[in-house]
Amino acid sequence: METTESESVRSRRVGDTAVIYAGDYLNKLSGERVERECKRQLESGCRALVISFRDTELVNSIGVSILMGVIDAAQQSGARLIFSDVDDHTANLFEMLGLTRHVTVVTDEEEALASLAPQTRVTEPRAVATGS
């Protein structure tokens, strides 16, 4: 089903890994979309999730809470979770709140995929937009 950008969260699948792109402001609305997409990917057999914050300028408290929900979901599925492209401000926030104890934070998506290399076989290199 075709979806508009505002109603979807962008993601792509790289082997057993899903890369999910958080929007510019991770709040209730966009956070719930990210959470739904992460859960959908885990249910479809993903063994690792990379959440890219390359477009993200702000994460509010609801966003933090939702990310903790994603951490729980990944842990329960036995999947790895990596945050990439986190700007300094958000990185400090994650550090201060203790999220970094439960998730690996790397510089960029490339580093994230490289760190997951043994698990990552590039079978679907195309970018897809998925409905919320």
Partner 1 sequence: METNTQRLLHTFAALADLGQEIADNADFEEMLRASFHLLLGSLAIRRGAVAEYDRERGQLRIVAMRGLTESGQTELPLAHDHARRLASMGSALSFEDATNEAERFLDDHKVFFGSVEIELLVPLVVRERLIGVVLLGEKASGEKFGGDNLEIICSLARHIAVGIHSHHLLEEVERKADENRRLYDGLRTIYKETVHAFAAAIDIKDRYTNGHSVRVGKYSEIIAREMGWNDEEVEGITIAGYLHDIGKLIVDLSVINSPERFNAKESKEMSRHPAAGYEILARINHPYAEIPLMARYHHERIDGNGYPDGLKGDQIPPGAKIVTVADSFDAMTTDRPYRKRLPLADVFVDFRENTGTQFAPEVICAFCRAFLREIEGTSKEKRLMKLLGRNYKNVEVVGPLLSQLISDLDGGAMAATATTH
Q: Smallest distance, Å, CB 102 to partner 1?
A: 6
**Only segment of 77-85, 88-96, 110-118, 124-132 that touches partner 1 (CB under 8 A):** 88-96
Among the listed residues 6, 7, 28, 43, the single contact to partner 1 using CB under 8 A? 28
Q: Give yes or no for residue 60 binding partner 1 (CB under 8 A).
A: yes
Number of residues that bind partner 1 (CB under 8 A): 21
- Residues in the chain, overall count: 132
Adjacent-strand bridge partners of 51: 20, 83
Judged by beta carbon, residue 69 or residue 131, the one nearer partner 1 is 69
Angstrom distance (rounded) from CA 110 to CA 6: 26
- DSSP secondary structure, 63-104, as one string: HHHHHHHHHHHHHHHT-EEEEES--HHHHHHHHHHTGGGTSE
With CB under 8 A as the contact rule, the residue among 65, 114, 121, 128 that binds partner 1 is 65
Cβ closest to partner 1, residue 92 vs residue 107: 92
Applying CB under 8 A, does 10 fall inside the site for partner 1?
no
Please count the other Cβ atoms lying within 10 Å of the Cβ belonging to residue 22. 26
Side-chain-side CA neighbours of 35 within 13 Å: the count stands at: 19
Regarding 39 and contact with partner 1 (CB under 8 A), the answer is no
Q: Which residues contact partner 1 by CB under 8 A?
A: 28, 60-66, 68-69, 71-72, 89, 92-93, 96-99, 101-102
